Amino acid sequence: MQNITSAADLKDAIQFLEAEQSIKGQLLREQLFLTYESLKPANLLRNALKEISSTPHLIDNISGTAMGLLGGFLSKKIFVGTSGNLIRKLFGSVLQIGVTNLVTQNSEIIKSVGQALIQHFFQKKK
């Protein structure tokens, strides 16, 4: 800003700063309102669902992970059963982690083999 040398320049500078403060205050109020609206639970949920639905490979990732977890859980249940043996439970947990990782990493192959088997068994024979 330039040096103020007269009362008229001082009044002009004050008016300019007051106008600038008014504009900035209005912008701040508008931004506060937008922030308030975006933080409402309904808007947070809506935005999260939009983001989830716009992710292209999310369903494939979720299904692969779910298959891995289910496969690991079932393998542990089959191996350990109702056994109270600590070593067997420990080995069952290691087996569960291994099967979970194996199925999760190869979920696309497992899906395609499963689909081929389903088509083979349920296909109408000519």
Residues 70 and 43 in one domain: no
Mean pLDDT score across all residues of the chain = 87
Q: How confident is the model at residue 124 (pLDDT cuts 50, 70, 90)?
A: low
Q: What is the pLDDT of residue 37?
A: 92
Query: Measured between alpha carbons, how far is residue 89 from residues 27, 61, 67, 70, 101 in Å?
Result: 62, 29, 22, 17, 18
- Tell me: do 68 and 117 sit in the same domain: yes
Q: What pLDDT is stored for residue 55 in this prediction?
A: 74
Is the pTM higher than 0.75?
no
What total of structural domains would you count in the chain? 2
Whole-Å CA distances, 58 to 62, 91, 111, 114: 6, 32, 16, 20
pLDDT at 125 exceeding the cut of 70: no
Q: Is residue 74 part of a domain?
A: yes
Compute the distance between CA of residue 71 and CA of residue 100 in angstroms, rounded to an integer.
Answer: 6
CB 37 within 8 A of CB 72: no
Which residue range is the domain that position 67 belongs to?
58-122
Looking at the domain assignment, is residue 81 inside a domain?
yes
Judge contact between 104 and 65, C-beta under 8 A: yes
In a domain, 19, yes or no: yes
The 3-state secondary structure of 63-101 reads HHHHHHHHHHHHHHHHHHCCCCCHHHHHHHHHHHHHHHH
Going by pLDDT thresholds of 50, 70 and 90, the confidence category of residue 19 is: very high
pLDDT at res. 49: 83
**Residue 103: pLDDT above 60?**
yes
